Amino acid sequence: MAGMMEFFWLFLLFLPTQPAGRPATPAQVLKYVPPEAVLVVATDVASLSHGMNQGLDELLDAKFMKSTEALVQAGAMITQGRDQLKAQTAKYGLDPFKDIRWATVSMGGLQGPEPKLLAAVGGKIPAKTLQALAADAGAKQEGALWVFPEKGGQFVMARAKDSTVLAGSRDWVELALAGKARCPAMKPLLARFDRKTFMLIAFQVTDQMRADWQADADWEARPLLGSLKGLALQMGYTGWSLKVVTDAKNLAVWQDLLYGLGRLAAATREATDGMLFIAKGVLASLDPIADQKHDLSPEDTKIFAALIAHRDELHKLLAKRFVGPAPKTKVMANKRQASVTLDVTGRTGALTLIPFGAGMGAYFLAARQEPAVIQAPAPPPAEAPDEAPAPPAP
């Protein structure tokens, strides 16, 4: 399993810079979105897996990865993770890097006892794959549905007429099979998906969510959260965009926020470039490592020596993947729709999302935490009164 973990961590870094083959149309990818969906994640799986494989191959072929036994073993573990994934899916007659073209996951009822889910997966997925998966899970066939024993038979899987594999809550899968999985309320957000997109995250705020935020969030986050009606984060091969739906009163607020976010995106490229040069300079200052007074183990010493010796190659590899030309940013407000959109374009524009995702996630997570209660210090114990003198003897 260790190899699988390294494999999936690297998956997050090697984002695609071009589509793999002919991407599916937005109509195909967004065909199955139930009316009650509040969160939708649509992905071009083929391009994501192609970009990841391409990045992994570049990393594994680098000279420094073959320079020490420890780095060779690290490369072997990454390769093992990729091979394990292929082996685990091969028994179902599926190649995850070739047979899956796209996937869309819709969720609803997030604040209820049982959230709703519908996953739609398209591509060249054999019918025997569905049967093998169902058999392994102990599912029983009921008409067009494979019913899983978990959750009282409310989790099912099916195959649509267009060969799309559907899995999730029974009522949502049945809606999809009947051709009634449509969500007009999210149409303005889902419209951000096109053939230049490898991932779209669309989120629609419900009245219940807004009420919970007003009750639970810290005071400084309530106005911002309360003004949010929906957002769509689109990640493409040449950049990304963020669309926020609000109200007329807060249009200027979000316009300033997204402008600032765009400036940070441009700065992220410069910061990344600077950090890579700093790292290269630090490695150069340690050459040769044998002359340094350190407490590294012999194996770690070999790794540092390899990184120092191949610092130019390492810098070139990372700069190619993470720097590129400076991204261009543009903020547009639409008064009629009460929405603001930030577009960030550039070959490595999508990579500027990595620090933003961490920062915004931390902000909203902190906003939902219970405020810390500072206990007042206990008062010092009162001193016992002096005993009264005994009365004189008669």
Q: What is the pLDDT of residues 328-360, one digit of tens each?
A: 899 999 999 999 999 998 765 555 555 555 555
What pTM does this model have? 0.78
E strand or H helix at 304, and its extent? helix 298-309
pLDDT at residue number 190? 93
- Angle, helix 311-322 to helix 45-61, in steps of 10 degrees: 170
Q: How many Cα atoms sit within 13 Å of 73 on the Cβ side?
A: 6
Residue 324 neighbours by CB under 8 Å, 6+ apart: 269, 346, 347, 348
The two structure tokens encoding residue 38: 């509040």
pLDDT at residue number 284? 94
pLDDT at residue number 282? 94
What is the end-to-end Cα distance of the chain in Å, rounded? 92
Q: CA-to-CA distance for 140 and 135, rounded, in angstroms?
A: 8
Ranges under pLDDT 70 in the chain: 1-14, 151, 347-394
pLDDT at residue number 312? 92
What is the CB neighbour count within 10 angstroms for residue 317? 19
Q: CA-to-CA distance for 54 and 50, rounded, in angstroms?
A: 6
Q: Which of 268, 263, 243, 239 is nearest to 254 (CA)?
A: 243
Answer positive or negative: Cα dihedral of 12, 18, 22, 24: positive
Q: How far is CA 330 from the centre of its chain?
A: 23
Instruction: Answer for the pair 348, 322: CB distance below 8 angstroms, yes or no.
Output: yes
